[in-house]
């Protein structure tokens, strides 16, 4: 950038690249909307004020329309969109997003450091700013089989990369307050290199929370209860209000935001699937929802612009102000419907107009080895998923709609010929996790309530965080067929009934990401969800998102990994069967 020219344009001494006149400027510093002109040069904002007489290569009269900073998603897992980064950018740029901060721990758990480097490489030379936090929990725990391990000594390789802005969510919260040496080494590495440290501490409170924060952890995106969020903010944490495909916490947490606390809050998606990105939007959806729930429009925009910039130290982003990168969106209003920009500018260049992309994005090639990560060498049989037992008193995971926390139940299930069976009359289904990395196909089987399936099975290679194969179903035959289909696809999502595949979504890149364009992936996902709902009777809006979190042993309360049933509160395995008496 020619800083001298930017200064000259700011003074009106040289011609600007663009001058927006008659603009209503959304000022995220003082919370006001002010009438002004906005001058751009060198991909940055030169000035805000009176520039109607300043020469410019292009003059755009906004006629009183709003000009606001473009959005930053402060916490997302790009892999959970199932899209290549170029396809993700293609979808979200027209929604006003120009920046994300992503934790790549999904691909890191599959491929280790090469996976992180692959994802960083796939995000280069795109008119979108992809920043990353360095995955801190690979594997997340000792309670599951993962494809890789990243100790602190390995993280040193990337800690100073120019697009690594922090240490990613520290999910091993017991490891923090129990002072596990490798956990402390990762925290110290981030501290020494001046990086923020993201948190992950669902329902952690009191002295344990004090210890967690004392370790140097700055934020949390796992709050599901208002009192929980208030305690964390009062102890100095930033609170990220999450509105994703499964985790819909914004409405419950929004009362946290007021004139005093707003500067410590951000809007994030965490996980957002492609059909919803296309149909509903990205961060603009969360901004609009916050407005519809009564939050001041400028404050809502602050939570997705200047606040993420301040938190991550991206001082050149997030505002319509001199010296900031000219990542801008033009809006017709501030609150009537979802905020769909009339135009989006990235570094002063028009990248989207009236909902359509205005630039070309090149397709990216991926290495062959990243397409061969599912190692389940032989077809599994229905007997592989049988649960033997004379008693049917078992621990059952209970799904909570729109949340990733679960409840733990104890139920008496039917037993036939020495095998414990699911009970669809009470919505109790079989749940299975199959290890995908060693070729041994180790597995565990349990039971879950809350999917509503009346027939068939669903299976997926997306199972946070280690991404072993996971399946839910009404019978062992369909579970085996579904798992085998996912293995043959080298990863993906599938719905099966009576042994026949109804719909699938291949995800060959690390078993997480499609190689197809975004509309094709969204169409496949739509067909899959319709099959789950109409043919299998599923009652959840997005059963695959719910399924993906049932193997995550760092989210309360009861989860299933390939090694067994986990009581997250105890951070240890518990038996499937409950002793009588």
CA distance 545 to 540: 10
Residues with Cβ within 8 Å of residue 121, at least 6 apart in sequence: none
Query: In terms of DSSP bridges, do strands 71-76 and 97-102 run parallel, antiparallel, or are they unpaired?
Result: parallel
Is-contact 92 518, C-beta < 8 A?
Answer: no
**Pure H helices in 402-475:** none
Does domain 70-316 fall into CATH 3.20.20.140? Answer: yes
Q: Where are the beta strands (DSSP E) in 11-78?
A: 16-27, 32-41, 44-49, 56-61, 66-69, 71-76
Gap between the Cα atoms of 94 and 309, Å rounded:
20
pLDDT in tens, the chain (581 residues): 899 999 999 999 999 999 999 999 999 999 999 999 999 999 999 999 999 999 999 999 999 999 999 999 999 999 999 999 999 999 999 999 999 999 999 999 999 999 999 999 999 999 999 999 999 999 988 899 999 999 999 999 999 999 999 999 999 888 999 999 999 999 999 999 999 999 999 999 999 999 999 999 999 999 999 999 999 999 999 999 999 987 899 999 999 999 999 999 999 999 998 999 999 999 999 999 999 999 999 999 999 999 999 999 999 999 999 999 999 999 998 876 667 899 999 999 999 999 999 999 987 889 998 999 999 987 999 999 999 998 889 999 999 987 888 999 999 999 999 999 999 999 999 999 999 999 999 999 999 999 999 999 999 999 998 999 999 999 999 999 999 999 999 999 999 999 999 999 999 999 999 999 999 999 999 999 999 999 999 999 889 989 999 999 988 899 999 999 999 988 899 999 998 75
pLDDT digits (tens, 9 = 90+) for 361-381: 987 889 998 999 999 987 999
**For residues 326 and 346, what is the distance between their CA atoms, to the nearest angstrom?**
6
Q: β-pairing, 164-170 with 66-69? A: unpaired
Nearest to 513 by CA among 148, 107, 134, 100: 107
Total length of the chain? 581
Contacts of 358 (CB under 8 A, 6+ apart): 350, 351, 352
* DSSP for 341-360, written as a single string: -SEEEETTEEEEETTEE-S-
pLDDT at 178 (0 to 100): 92
Q: State pLDDT tens for residues 474-483.
A: 999 999 999 9
What burial letters (b/e) apply to 338-358, b meaning 16+ CB within 10 Å? ebbbebbbbbbebbbeeeebb
pLDDT for 47-103, tens place per residue? 999 999 999 999 999 999 999 999 999 999 999 999 999 999 999 999 999 999 999
Indicate where the chain has its CATH 3.20.20.140 domain(s): 70-316
Give the separation between CA 547 and CA 410, rounded to whole angstroms.
20
């Amino acid at each position: 950038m020619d800083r001298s020219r930017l200064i000259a344009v700011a003074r009106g001494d040289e011609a600007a690249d663009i001058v927006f006149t008659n603009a209503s400027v959304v000022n995220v510093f003082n919370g006001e909307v002010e009438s002004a002109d906005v001058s751009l040069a060198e991909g940055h904002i030169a000035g805000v004020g009176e520039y109607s007489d300043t020469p410019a290569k292009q003059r755009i009269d906004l006629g009183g329309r709003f000009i606001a900073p473009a959005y930053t998603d402060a916490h997302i897992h790009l892999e959970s969109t199932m899209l290549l980064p170029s396809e993700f950018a293609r979808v979200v740029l027209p929604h006003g997003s120009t920046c994300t901060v992503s934790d790549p721990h999904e691909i890191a758990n599959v491929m280790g450091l090469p996976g992180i480097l692959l994802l960083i490489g796939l995000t280069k030379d795109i008119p979108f700013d992809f920043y990353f936090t360095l995955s801190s929990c690979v594997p997340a725990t000792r309670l599951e089989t993962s494809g890789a391990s990243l100790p602190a000594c390995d993280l040193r390789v990337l800690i100073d990369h120019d697009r690594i802005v922090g240490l990613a969510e520290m999910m091993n919260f017991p490891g923090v307050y129990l002072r596990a040496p490798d956990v402390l080494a990762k925290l110290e590495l981030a501290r020494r290199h001046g990086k923020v440290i993201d948190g992950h501490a669902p329902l952690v409170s009191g002295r344990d929370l004090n210890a967690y924060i004392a370790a140097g952890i700055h934020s949390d995106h796992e709050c599901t209860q208002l009192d929980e969020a208030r305690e964390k903010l009062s102890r100095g944490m930033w609170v990220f209000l999450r509105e994703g495909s499964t985790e819909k916490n914004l409405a419950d947490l929004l009362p946290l935001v007021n004139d005093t606390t707003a500067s410590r809050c951000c809007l994030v998606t965490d996980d957002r699937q492609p059909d919803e990105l296309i149909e509903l939007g990205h961060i603009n959806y969360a901004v609009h929802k916050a407005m519809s729930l009564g939050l001041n429009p400028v404050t809502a925009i602050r939570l997705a612009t200047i606040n993420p910039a301040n938190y991550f130290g991206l001082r050149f982003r997030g505002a319509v102000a001199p010296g900031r990168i000219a990542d801008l969106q033009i809006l017709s209003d501030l609150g009537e419907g979802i905020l769909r920009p009339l135009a989006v500018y990235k570094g002063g260049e028009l990248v989207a107009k009236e909902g359509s992309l205005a630039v070309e994005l090149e397709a990216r090639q991926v290495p062959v080895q990243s397409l061969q990560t599912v190692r389940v060498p032989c077809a599994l049989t229905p007997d592989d998923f049988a649960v033997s037992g004379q008693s049917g008193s078992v621990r059952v995971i209970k799904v909570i709609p729109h949340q990733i926390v679960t409840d733990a139940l104890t139920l008496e299930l039917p037993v036939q010929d020495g095998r414990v069976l699911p009970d669809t009359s009470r919505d109790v289904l079989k749940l299975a996790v199959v290890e995908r990395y060693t070729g041994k196909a180790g597995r565990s089987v349990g039971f879950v309530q809350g999917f509503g399936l009346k027939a068939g099975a669903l299976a997926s290679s997306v199972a946070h965080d280690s991404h072993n194969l996971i399946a839910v179903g009404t019978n062992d035959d369909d579970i085996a067929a579904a798992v085998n289909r996912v293995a043959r696809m080298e990863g993906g999502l599938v719905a099966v009934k009576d042994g026949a595949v109804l719909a699938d979504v291949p995800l060959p890149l690390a078993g997480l990401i499609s190689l197809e364009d975004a509309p094709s992936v969204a169409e496949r996902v739509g067909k899959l969800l319709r099959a789950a709902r109409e043919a299998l009777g599923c009652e959840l809006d997005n059963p695959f998102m719910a399924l993906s979190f049932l193997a995550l042993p760092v989210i309360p309360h009861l989860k299933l990994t390939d090694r067994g049933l986990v009581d997250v509160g105890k951070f240890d395995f518990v038996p499937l069967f409950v002793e009588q008496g």
